[in-house]
Amino acid sequence: MPYIKHTLSNGLAVYSDPITSSRSAAIGVWVRAGSRFELPSEAGMTHFLEHMCFKGTPARNAQQIANEMDFLGGEMNAFTSQEMTCFYAHLLSENVSRAALLLGDLLTRSVFDAEELARERGVVIEEIAESRDDPEDQVTQNLYEVHFGDHPLARPILGTESSLSAFSREDVRTYFRRNYHSGSMFVTVSGRFSWPALREALEEAFSDLPEAPQEAERTDVPFRPAYKETRQDKKLEQIHVAIGMPGLPVAHRDQTLLRLMNVHLGGGMSSRLFQEVREKRGLAYSVYSTGQSFRDGGLLRIAASTRPSKRKELLDILGEEIARLETVPLSMEELARAKNQVKSSLLIGLESIGTRMNKMGRDILYWGEEVPVETIESAIDAATPEDILSFARGQGFSGQRSLSVLGPEKE
């Protein structure tokens, strides 16, 4: 059943996916604001604003917001990415209207109290420090910086201690007004709910939401990978490696081929990387590949870690497996295995109401409409070994790579 689109009296779009057999409902408020749209002086503002929306409104202080979130049960949280922010709740059906009222209050009436702002700035600075202490986070961020070059995607979503320290209360309020309005936001809801009751709650919740401002559309920097290398000397037990290769935009017609190839390369225990690096040679405990897609480009990333004395051997094996993508087609058994993994991830995931709501949001953001599951399944079924081999050759993985190495320079 296609998503049902509703429009509130203030112009806010709501997309619903009723599942009457469910005992729960999931609701998400999506904002077309992400770290890639920030100015250099605003680095980290989108994520910081996400935090600040939970810190008080005229009707609720931060403690009362936390109490109400816990009282409603289920899960209520938010996340920020390079291209979006989402505030969501997954809870029992009878509580979804009350969750909508709470979300609307946070996203239209937050006061951004100066004391709360100073306190939360410290919290996020600690979050940045924690990320820097995580070798996998750090080697990945270093990869982004050399892979994306001077593009905003190279900057950390969290920002930096320097950029966070410069934010004033008025800076936060200005950024909030620029991005939180009916032209930049929409709502998705899936599961069991009464639409008349939920609509009434949403109308009340977002009654103060401003209309889209009459101003020029924001500009975006074109996506051009830089394909460079970086090595950071750091006292660690292991060498951490991240390799970046060309990915695809979210809505690209070859996304299914990329997903199948990625599962074959490093998506599970039977994958080429897991078998060659871990099972046959014992070079690493963790080795995998993963795809990351944006509206105008993407990144295929390989990650692994090993002892410093094994760095060259690890990099050589990873290079051989990358080259193999362009020279050796998948066997029919390998392709069937990859197809089953991709299908299972999709279909079993959609048994979760929260996952359905999340898919709705991403569909609307990137396609502007539902992408039927049947369409995705058909693309998976239609893929052949020759299709994947041709795709890999066209991407040119062997010749276009970024490399990030973190750990001790000396063995």
Q: What share of the chain is helix, strand, coil (3-state, %, to 5)?
A: 50, 20, 35
Contact in structure between 93 and 24 (CB atoms under 8 Å): yes
Determine whether 50 is an active site residue. Answer: yes
User: CA 165: distance to chain centroid?
Assistant: 25
CA distance 48 to 352: 29
CA distance 407 to 337: 35
Task: Look at the alpha carbons of 159, 164, 167, 173 in this order and tell me if their dihedral is positive or negative.
Answer: positive
CA distance 288 to 136: 12
Length in residues, the chain: 411
Q: Which of 38, 50, 116, 145 is catalytic?
A: 50
230 strand-pairing partners: 404
Angle at 408 between CA 407 and CA 409, to 5 degrees: 115
CA distance 7 to 30: 15
Cite the active site residues.
50
